[in-house]
Amino acid sequence: MPIQLSAVADGVRRPAFRAIAGLGATQIIGWGTTFSSLPIFGSPIAHDLGMAREWAFAGITVTLLVGALVAPRIGRRIDRAGARTVMVVGSVVAALALAVMSQSWNLYSYLAGWVVLGLATPMMLMNAAMPGLVQVVGANARQAITSLMLLSGLTSTIFLPINAWLFAKVGWQHAYLIFAGVHLLICAPLHWFALKPPPPGAQAVTSARANRRAFPPEGVLLPEHHKRAFVLLAVWTCSEGLITWGLNLQIIDILKASGLTVVEAIGVWAFVGPCQSLARFAELMSGGRHSILTSMLGAAVFTSLSFVVLLPFGISVPTAVAFCIAMGVGHGLCHCAQHLATGPVRRA
């Protein structure tokens, strides 16, 4: 899989490849063992713990709320001291959270695990991975970030079958315990290795704040427009999240309720990951020749088209495949636009 880093200085090229590959692996594991576990585990968890199905999926809401509260402080820490140690600690905390979830016996113990996971997610998922990558690559990080997102887009394709297999073999509690070990024994060392600083003299920056000072982004808004831009970005990302996050969590049950078997539902939804990555790969190959707004408009078109496909024909394997392809392309373009619009990179 070619990853273009033509804009990256020679002294940073090898550390950049190491960071992209290492963080790509940890992001797939991080998302796959947490958020992508509930489409398979959610309903059985609710049944086993004797609670309403909605409470099983409420764990995601708890994690997002806790993560939102602690993310600013974690971001400042990353800005001052770098992402390397923060991401290692994040993997350890995630392992603790998953271990707590594996021992759940009622609603409160289950949600306690998601509270701890909320502390971990800003430290070990994209909130930390993107500035960590910028700290290794330097100012011209648009292609590097898109490459990382290209890899992470394969999460559901890889982990939905893994999660389904683990549930069938050992159950959700033992699966979460296995995931805890993976975070502790694989992700934590990978974060330490992947974010090793470039050699002295390489054209890299040591913090996102230093990057912004040394390489001011093109097209910075005037101060009087900052509030409006923030509000518009917040509305955009939250609206998109309501659709995609909710759908991702419920999609296997939705497809099953529409007449597909479990194997068909997982197989159909597996198309989303490659299509997300294909859209991100197109963004990578474009080399920044189009604006972020173009990616955003493309995302809106494809996401809307995905639902339109189902209206005249209903849900069957062929229409579900078409739906997933359009949804994957739209979601991939949307995430590219979101991260590039809000991330600490220069607009190419």
Residue 12 near residue 202, CB atoms below 8 Å: yes
pLDDT tens per residue, the chain (348 residues)?
A: 444 444 445 556 788 888 999 999 999 999 999 999 999 999 999 999 999 999 999 999 999 999 999 999 999 999 888 899 999 999 999 999 999 999 999 999 999 999 999 999 999 998 899 888 888 887 666 678 778 888 888 888 899 999 999 999 999 999 999 999 999 999 999 999 999 876 665 544 444 444 444 334 445 567 777 788 788 877 877 777 777 777 888 888 888 888 899 889 998 988 888 888 888 777 767 755 667 777 778 888 888 888 888 888 888 899 999 999 998 888 878 776 766 666 544 333
156-187 burial by CB neighbour count: b if 16+ within 10 A, else e? bbbbbebbbebbeeeebbebbbebbebbbeeb
**Distance between alpha carbon 197 and the CA centroid of its chain, in Å?**
23
Spatial separation of the C-alpha atoms in residues 223 and 168, rounded to whole Å: 55
Burial of 215 (0-12, 13-18, 19+ CB in 10 A): middle
Report pTM.
0.80
